[in-house]
Structure 1
């Protein structure tokens, strides 16, 4: 299956899928401050799996407009560094930060940073968290090798990602074109889990949650239809049709076995302090 084998640039993201208009459109579906599937609801569900204590340090890779970072800081009392390549995402995240209560603002920072080129002290973070973002990065083994070093012993990984479905590698051209257009660098769920194991993580859970993805997409479409007139007034009918069409084709791809969604958890061996 021919796909691009390079990481997405900041310009590619800001000028394409993550233009400011595109981001604000996404927030209308996912919810205020969120640009990942399911918004607050999936964030609450996924983070039930985390063992976090106040004062711990979290690295949020591909933090988007800050939704998960704000939630983690508020819910668990942790300090979150959100990094993203998209200047548009970070600009909106900083605006949202001003809306937050002072104690959340104090625990929150955002930085424009290429995660594949980042340097952090060894054993610095307690959690690396990412929602539907590392799928833009080709060099996953290199990135996770660095994350392994940055995490403290006992440190956790929690990541959701688009993945290849059961048809891989026998996908139709429409799907291949979509992957190339978005600059996605996807793996199957099992291959993703193998990357985590290869760099040293243990207690690796690589779940294919495509069924959950489809259900969330359907709920989001129902919600979106209910705000059609309001959305068109704020944006445009073309914006509405583009987004609705995008959600509908995702469901088709998932049901056909091409596209999917994965949830990945892992632990760095050792005892946390």
Structure 2
């Protein structure tokens, strides 16, 4: 085995059991022998070197290219051993320190998300076939963290609970105008219109999502109150009484945080309220994982709270509530990954084996980062005036309970007609 790789594995894997069959057929064991073993086979010395020099990119690429296979275990069980050994600070070799340092230095260049580039970045991920997403998402096509207030909830129940939880924080009134930035396949906007009798404008940069969302509004006879447009948030004009953004801020980029919050302030009425739901870090600012940036979300970035708050403060928006959702996304991703793996053969037919391996690693890596690393979800409530919202959080709890008691629909109508 490559000496750099052997040294890195020896330093990193102290607990658990990792078995590696190298390109020469030799078997190496790392760890203390506890737990369920994970056994990988590396098929070429080239792959060994790639992994040794840059594990965060070299390992998933070797798996995607068929140069690495699991003889026992899978990507999630491997990452469980790796992450639980390395902690938040990680374990590095000199080449890894150099690569990570270069990525941190280059992150602002990687996140120059001007409108044209933002559109291309979104198309890279969200303009994939809708058939792929229907293989593992819930029936409402919610592609963001679900909310599990009770054990044993189905994905459909937890995604409905997420919409109820967010809606309760918006303190909506009938007739208000609501902007949904990053509206996806339309589920959140349609839910708010039906439950609160509000007018909704949803904006997305995905042509695939736009077609489905508008068809859903038509099918549910809500086109008079809900419309979806292909638009960048920077091009919008207000005012809006409420703004909601779920799973979009991760694509804004650290260079544009100030622009984002300044624009949201300008779009809100004087007594307006905003709810931002985004993935965040509990640890210090970092750089986007190389594999995610290259293959999954180009231009994307997960911020620490310390990076978000200065931009909010300078925008003169007032932070009125912050909630941290910890393991909710880990549980969401667990269901997504299980559903994806149950349909893996269909994914291969839709795309190919390399794509299936790429997404298998993406879903496993994402679950692992929420379960054993620093990833969480932030829900940040903002307003322009301190007196806009009630003085206690009781209104959130009361509204959420009313939505649950009313039996708001768990299975919104969905149509494939737009595709």
TM-score where L is the length of structure 1 = 0.83
**Pairwise mapping of residues 116-131 of structure 1 onto structure 2 (< 5 A)?**
116=234, 118-121=235-238, 124-131=239-246
Q: Any idea what SS the aligned residue of 1:184 has?
A: coil
**1:133 is aligned to 2:251:** no
1:68/1:91 CA distance change after superposition, 3 Å = same
Task: Report how far residue 92 of structure 1 moved.
Answer: 1.8
Query: What is the aligned partner in structure 1 of residue 112 from structure 2?
Result: 6
**Retained in 1: the 8 A contact 2:170–2:274?**
no
User: Which of 220, 232, 249 lines up with 1:114 in the alignment?
Assistant: 232
Q: Which runs of 5+ in 1 are unaligned?
A: none
The 8 Å contact of residues 40 and 67 in structure 1, kept in 2 or not, is answered as no
Between stretches 196-205 and 233-242, larger displacement belongs to: 233-242
Map 1:72-221 → 2, pairs under 5 A: 72-100=192-220, 102=221, 104-116=222-234, 118-121=235-238, 124-138=239-253, 139-166=256-283, 168-169=285-286, 175-179=289-293, 181=295, 182=297, 183-221=299-337
Q: Corresponding residue for 1:30?
A: 137
Deviates more, 1:180-189 or 1:49-58: 180-189
Counterpart of 1:17 (choices 125, 130, 133) is: 125
Whole-Å separation in 2 of the counterparts to 1:28 and 1:110:
24
Q: Which stretch shifts more, 82-91 or 3-12? A: 3-12
Q: Secondary structure at the match of 1:29?
A: coil
Answer with 1 or 2: which has the greater Rg: 2
- Whole-angstrom distance in 2 between the partners of 1:177 and 1:229: 20
TM-score calculated relative to the size of structure 2 = 0.56
TM-aligned CA distance change 1:27 to 1:195, over 3 Å: farther
Counterpart Cα distance in 1 of 2:204 and 2:280:
20
Cα distance per residue 1:119-178 (max 9 Å; x no partner): 414xx2111111111221131211211211211122111121122342543x6xx82442
The aligned length equals 262
1:267 and 2:376 matched: no
